[in-house]
Structure 1
Amino acid sequence: MKKDHSDLSVRRQCSLLSLARSTFYYQPRGESAENLKFMEIIDRQFLETPWYGSRQMARQLAREGHKCGRHRIRRLMKIMRLVPIYQEPKTSKRHPEHKIYPYLLKDLPITQSNQVWCADISYIPMRRGFLYLVAIMDWHSRKVLSWRLSNSMDAGFCVEALKDALARYGPPEIFNTDQGSQFTSTDFTDVLRDAKVKISMDGRGRWIDNRMIERLWRSLKYECVYLNAFETGSEARDGIGNWITYYNERRPHSSHGIMTPDEAYDRRSPDLKLAA
């Protein structure tokens, strides 16, 4: 059988980059043009008012002159994985057969890199659809260690990102997530347990623990995603990748003064780095 040369090229590129082949074939998920418009409006509003549920969001859209009922908004918010902060125990849909791990960060001072990592998933609007983005972040430095895009909410792309972060940076002491089915799946937790990482999951009233990665989503969307209106998955991957490189290497983080996440992760100030 004659092999397709373009497919062979993709295989070679995937092998060189240590990426899954699916990374090269992302196609945005589809909704009607009207629903995509509403989803972008909801997404922007949620960044400003993350306590809005479907009822309050429906009122907000009605005030702005949009005809979109609460039931439709509730469905769209579910697709977008948006849950108001006061409902944190239901931040993402739990799987009834998955084990839920205890919360390990209460009163724990987080003072160094690789002490605690966290992960979250965000909706990424496209010109004709949408994708999901998972990011793994070092809690202390705010450095994005790994990320993946997907057109579905299965656990596979989260597992890929986790394995990549572990291979690049070694294991943290603790890994904290919400109780979403992607993070409670055995595919995900088995990787952590094999690496001897303690697993922590947010519980009741712990929405505040996700604030640093929520700030990442806000910055990414306003500084990259909304400005570009990506057409294809490859455009989104390239654009988001360039922004994350900028965020890690050049953008000072408020938690560390003038230091970038890369510099904070390495525990060196810019002056020390120049002197080294």
Structure 2
Amino acid sequence: MKKACKALNVSRSGYYKYLDHKPSKRDIENKVLKEIIREIFEEHKGRYGSLRIAKVLEQREIHVNRKRISRFLREMSLVPKGTRYHYRKYNQKASGEGRPNLLNQVFIANAKNKIWVGDITYIPTKEGTLYLAIFIDMFSRKVVGWSMGNRMKDALVIEAFNQAYGKEHPPKGLIVHTDQGSQVRQEVG
């Protein structure tokens, strides 16, 4: 035993203490709690995550922190099934194919009204959030069209583009570069 402890760089007293180790009150509590959590998880066909399991435990008058429940679920490799509904988020691409990236991150123009870049940003105010749609000419670096509103709608981008187009009258072959979010993928002009 002496050689094995030396090879593993463990003291003999530490090894024997490990052998005599009895589970603590917390270890026993965790083991029982894990069994209850597994039972609730299986009872609800794997649909309950830490929040719902915490509510069931509260109803049974067992008070456990949600983070502790999450940790136990991870340790037991119990992953709840996702929601049946998949909501579209603002930053997800709209359906359909995107346009090709003609600039390939090289934003250099050799003349005015050859390349415009557009984007939408939000501006927090005391009255609520405002959205700003803007188009910039890459040669002059000047704003050629903009529109502001309290909703992020397609009309915001269309209005900004039409303003720029009406003011600048660009020649044929203008490249308009955007992030291709759902608001800017509309047919404008």
The TM-score with structure 1 as length reference comes to 0.33
- The structure whose RCO (Cα within 8 Å, separation 6+) is larger is 1
The TM-score with structure 2 as length reference comes to 0.47
